[in-house]
Chain A
Amino acid sequence: MAYITAKELSVGYAGTAVAEHLHFEVNQGDYLCIVGENGAGKSTLMKTLLHLIEPLAGDLEYGDGMQRDSIGYLPQLTLVQRDFPASVWEVVLSGNLARCGHRPFYGKQEKHNAKEQMEKLGIWELRGTCYRNLSGGQQQRVLLARALCAATRLLLLDEPVSGLDPRVTAELYQMIQELNHGGITILMVSHDIQAALRYASHILHLGKARQFFGTKDAYLSSDAWRMFAGTGGVLHE
């Protein structure tokens, strides 16, 4: 059974649908990119998948042992975090909170998990550094490590490369791809259509006029892609 199955799903705020009639499926090992114009409902869909808001209509099923809290989430940076005094270690450790249950403090297991994820992403040396003093790419790695602490099977990434320079962007994509090859399912909201086409296995295209869900190859021959490419999403390859 699929990790996530959406049928006739409508998402939106306060009764007003932003995106309607969505059908898609996420299976283990997939790399799904959610693309579309601004206002097409990408972020709203993501919040619905995380249960931050409830779906307006339709079915959203989690299967194969997926719980709502076995999803790791990489949010966009918020204003609050820009001058937040917290060390890298404190931030990553906070990803383990759900594992604590009713215990007030982190135990050995949580600390070990945090260390493991930090070593995997090469930020263990930065553990004492203040989060706000890191570069954009390093900050994203820290948040990625935190997300991995929370969940090891599915990651949801919200515009992970926005505001990063090209070299760091490429590194981050590389890292995400490695995680995907290591067996972690990736769901990514992105403006970066070229990267989506390079790395993703599946594409979900949201739009007022056309919607598409399928493999990358099917997408390239679809109407949705032709429209998108015709209206500004230029492919240089």
Chain B
Amino acid sequence: MSDLVEKLQFYLEYPFVRYALIVGTLIALCSSLLGVTLVLKRYSFIGDGLSHVAFGAMAVASVCNLTNDTLIVMPVTLIAAVLLLRSGQSTRINGDAALAMLSVGSLAMGYLILNLFSTSANLSGDVCSTLFGSTSILTLTKTVVYLCIALSILVITVFVLFYNRIFAVTFDENFTRAIGVKADRYNLLIALVIAVIIVLGMNLVGSLLLSALVIFPALSAMRLLNHFKGVVLCSAVLSVCCALAGMLVSILFSTPVGSTIVAADMLVFFVCSIIGRIRR
């Protein structure tokens, strides 16, 4: 045990480990806040689709040799979020099918572009870390850390300020529209915030595992609690704890960060399901 503590202290000496812990915690917090709304609005699929789009954008960015790929990934993901929301509402093209096309398409194109144009010596390593986020959390530059902190604060502020409206739009869109509140505007806001969260979360768990970060804490909290505010707060706490635990375990036992966090989320979900069932 003291071995582990010593090892941990040794790692915490390094600034990149401290950065990783700070950024990871913030990302986990942000992703869980909107997770409840996403699950309840049946928007979980949008998170999944967007993360694949973000992978495609990331591939383009890394081929272009940009120092900060967020500059490309962020706008592309934001635009995709708006488009997906539109396609979900139109009855012309089936929203589901449009989304599947977009997400698989950008995944394939991303890999294709990386294969054709990449100058990197370790291509499969690059792809793997974008998809599963294995090491990228430990290689964050200071700029990215500050960017993550700023965006997290933005997401949290927006969520707190619009909490009541987000609740109303999630619970009953038609009623909210009928009393003269611009529901579409808030749907758009939700989609944009999700896009920001996804771009942030790519660093932590990679694009394939991102939905887990958004959905698991929300579902776990919904097993335990019965009111919206409680569910949101509980999912935030669960998410932060799982992310911290996952990161620490992955540092100590050198497991991949993303999958370890998701494993922790799954564990918590099962525990919560059992508690929820016993209490019922």
- Distance of B41 from chain A, by nearest CB (Å): 7
Closest to A76 in B: B174
Chain B residues with CB under 8 Å of A69's CB are 178-180
Contact A78 B172, CB 8 Å, known A87-B228, A105-B164 = yes
29 sample A-B contacts, Cβ–Cβ < 8 Å, listed by A number: A52-B174, A52-B177, A52-B178, A67-B180, A68-B180, A69-B178, A75-B172, A75-B174, A75-B175, A75-B178, A80-B41, A80-B171, A81-B171, A85-B230, A85-B231, A87-B227, A90-B228, A91-B171, A93-B164, A94-B168, A95-B179, A97-B164, A97-B179, A98-B179, A104-B160, A104-B161, A105-B163, A133-B226, A150-B179
A90 and B175 in contact (CB under 8 A), knowing A80-B42, A98-B181? no
Q: B167 at interface (Cβ–Cβ under 8 A)?
A: yes
Give the contact-size bracket for chain B.
Answer: 20 to 34
* Residue on A nearest B223 in the bound complex, by CB: A85
B225 touches A100 (CB 8 A): no
A residues 149-208 near B (Cβ < 8 Å) are 150-151, 156
List chain A positions with a Cβ less than 8 A from chain B.
Answer: 50-52, 67-69, 71-73, 75, 78, 80-81, 84-87, 89-91, 93-95, 97-98, 100, 104-106, 128-130, 132-133, 146-147, 150-151, 156
Would A86 and B167 count as touching, CB distance under 8 A? yes
Chain A-chain B contacts (Cβ-Cβ < 8 Å), number:
96
In the complex, the answer to whether A73 meets B165 with C-beta atoms within 8 Å is no
Which single member of A81, A84, A104, A156 contacts B164 (CB below 8 Å)? A104
| Seed contacts A71-B179, A73-B178; 4 additional CB < 8 Å A-B pairs | A89-B227, A97-B165, A104-B161, A129-B226
> A86 to B227, Cβ gap below 8 A?
yes
B178 A51 Cβ-Cβ under 8 A: yes
In the complex, how many angstroms separate the beta carbon of B166 from the nearest chain A beta carbon? 11
Query: B180-202 vs A: 1/0 string, CB under 8 Å?
Result: 11000000000000000000000
Asked, given contacts A87-B228, A104-B162, whether A73 binds B175 with beta carbons under 8 Å apart, the answer is: yes
- Give every chain A residue within 8 A of B168 (Cβ-Cβ): 94, 97
- For residue A10, give the distance in angstroms from its CB to the closest CB of chain B: 21
Residues of A within 8 A of B226 (CB): 85, 87, 129-130, 132-133
Set of chain A residues within 8 Å of B222, measured between Cβ atoms: 85
- Closest Cβ of chain A: how far from B223's Cβ, in Å? 10
Tell me which residues across on chain A come within 8 A of B171, comparing CB atoms.
80-81, 84, 86, 91, 94
Interface string of B232-270 (1 = CB under 8 A from A): 000000000000000000000000000000000000000
